[in-house]
């Protein structure tokens, strides 16, 4: 798979329970067309020379964000047509839900170590996860996931349960709802790593077959680039000492990119949820930008292009500053995201940035407001690859022993935590030292 997620200071932990879905019992209505934004164009910030970011993930530690240790949850039942449509995260900044059952592991040598709240690497990755799930659940993304169900069902006639969903959105909605709610209630294990092929990847999904009951932790585990996480944590620890506007903007940019990486991998887990067998691949038509082949698609990139208008890419400016763009190379298009988009996404204000036909960020009426149109060649020539090596497909994978540990009973006995959505949003917008009670 090509490369590819607070309460006021002084507050402590509180018990959290799974929240009821928003808009329960209501079918999501198609998104309204948005009017052009009349505000003045955003001016890109003049970034300074960044500090060197080379801290290994296993050496990172810091202060905490409020979390609660979660209670065991029951596995979700397979979707039924009579299930209600999902509660969707709206564009409202007031509706940010918790993510439950989170475990974050860091690969030290060939052995994973469990990170805990209070360690900077846990806090940063937890915040990334929270935004990733919110993006995946937003109304425009929901409609893209419906498209994936339709395309997958159309290509996999051998999957009886998919055929039984029917051939319309009303039949597909319960499947999307079940996956999103199950994932928010029991998030897959996340492994931060620079090994086993992750040296040049943003993220990767490991899958295991499932049959009767979907359990996100048993069906998929997500790997996240240790190099990128290290950069984020180094920025975070610096911001706790000095609130630099330049560093804060860089932190937000990298945070959004990593959240899209986690969401991308969750889309791969979604296609696995639909197909159920790890040996069956994503249908070839569920792809974007020429990725995949005649037999295998790329659902994560399909989701990115349909949702945002292009495949999400991050590169470095001449002075080492992170920049994010949407690339649609077959059409010769590339759009660098401006700071307004980054800030809106972190604030969970999706209404100005995302819509299911992929046009919002690249509409002509939004020129120089949300994204800067540049050529794909200028993007690759003017901005440096994040990784030292060119990405190579088919690199080594996790060894069986490590996979068994990620999916096995030993890891499930370790503490897991619920992430407060409100706290995670505030942390992403302005990370600072927060109290953590036991």
Q: Which long-range contacts (CB under 8 A, 24 or more apart) does 161-167 make?
A: 161/78, 162/274, 164/81, 165/79, 165/81, 166/81
β pairing state of 189-193 and 220-225: parallel
pLDDT value of position 183? 97
Distances (CA, A) of 74 to 83, 164, 181, 215, 369: 17, 25, 12, 9, 45
Instruction: Please give the structure tokens belonging to residue 100.
Output: 């439950």
pTM (predicted TM-score): 0.77
Q: Are 326 and 310 in contact (CB under 8 A)?
A: yes
pLDDT value of position 297? 57
pLDDT value of position 161? 67
Distances (CA, A) of 15 to 65, 69, 95, 420: 14, 8, 19, 10
pLDDT value of position 286? 64
Report how far residue 387's alpha carbon sits from residue 420's, in angstroms, rounded to the nearest whole number.
32
pLDDT value of position 357? 61
Q: Are 249 and 217 in contact (CB under 8 A)?
A: no
CB-based contacts of 191, cutoff 8 Å, min separation 6: 105, 106, 107, 112, 221, 222, 223, 224, 406
The backbone region for 269, taken as left when phi is positive above 0, alpha when psi lies in -120 to 50, beta otherwise, is alpha
pLDDT value of position 116? 93
What are the per-10-residue average pLDDT scores of the chain (438 residues)? 39 37 40 39 32 41 50 43 36 70 92 93 96 95 91 69 68 90 97 90 89 88 96 94 91 97 96 77 57 59 89 93 90 89 92 68 62 90 83 68 90 93 90 48
Instruction: Please give the structure tokens belonging to residue 62.
Output: 């810091």
Distances (CA, A) of 396 to 111, 285, 298: 16, 26, 19
Q: Which of 102, 70, 93 is nearest to 190 (CA)?
A: 102
Report how far residue 399's alpha carbon sits from residue 365's, in angstroms, rounded to the nearest whole number.
50
Report how far residue 312's alpha carbon sits from residue 4's, in angstroms, rounded to the nearest whole number.
9
């Amino acid at each position: 798979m090509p490369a590819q997620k607070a309460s006021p200071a002084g507050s402590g932990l509180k018990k959290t329970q799974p929240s009821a879905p928003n808009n329960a019992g209501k079918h999501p209505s198609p998104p309204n067309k948005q009017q052009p934004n009349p505000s003045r164009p955003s001016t890109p910030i003049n970034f300074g020379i960044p500090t060197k970011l080379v801290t290994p993930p296993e050496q990172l530690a810091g202060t905490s964000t409020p979390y609660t240790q979660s209670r065991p949850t029951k596995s979700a039942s397979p979707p039924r047509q009579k299930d209600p449509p999902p509660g969707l995260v709206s564009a409202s900044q007031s509706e940010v839900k918790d993510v439950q059952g989170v475990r974050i592991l860091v690969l030290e040598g060939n052995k994973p170590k469990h990170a805990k709240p209070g360690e900077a690497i846990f806090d940063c990755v937890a915040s990334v996860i929270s935004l990733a799930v919110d993006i995946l659940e937003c109304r425009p993304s929901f409609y893209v996931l419906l498209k994936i169900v339709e395309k997958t069902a159309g290509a996999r006639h051998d999957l009886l349960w998919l055929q039984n969903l029917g051939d319309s959105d009303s039949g597909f909605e319960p499947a999307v709802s079940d996956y999103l709610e199950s994932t928010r209630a029991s998030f897959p294990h996340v492994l931060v790593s620079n090994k086993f092929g992750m040296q040049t990847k943003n993220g990767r999904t490991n899958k295991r077959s499932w049959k009767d009951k979907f359990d996100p932790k048993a069906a998929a585990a997500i790997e996240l680039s240790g190099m990128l996480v290290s950069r984020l944590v180094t920025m975070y620890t610096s911001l706790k000492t000095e609130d630099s506007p330049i560093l804060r903007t860089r932190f937000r940019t990298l945070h959004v990119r990593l959240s899209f990486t986690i969401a991308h991998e969750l889309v791969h887990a979604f296609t696995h949820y639909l197909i159920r067998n790890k040996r069956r691949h994503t249908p070839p038509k569920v792809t974007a930008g020429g990725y995949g082949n005649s037999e295998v698609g790329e659902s994560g990139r399909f989701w990115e292009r349909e949702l945002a208008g292009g495949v999400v890419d991050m590169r470095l400016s001449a002075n080492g500053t992170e920049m994010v763009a949407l690339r649609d190379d077959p059409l010769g298009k590339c759009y660098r995201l401006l700071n307004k988009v980054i800030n809106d996404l972190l604030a969970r204000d999706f209404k100005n940035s995302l819509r299911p036909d992929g046009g919002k960020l690249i509409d002509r009426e939004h020129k120089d407001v949300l994204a800067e149109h540049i050529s794909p060649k200028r993007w690759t020539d003017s901005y440096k690859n994040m990784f030292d090596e060119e990405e190579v497909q088919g690199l080594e994978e996790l060894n069986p022993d490590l996979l068994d540990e990620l999916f096995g009973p030993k890891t499930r006995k370790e503490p897991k935590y619920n992430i407060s959505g409100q706290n995670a949003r505030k942390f992403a917008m302005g990370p600072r030292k927060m109290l953590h009670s036991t």
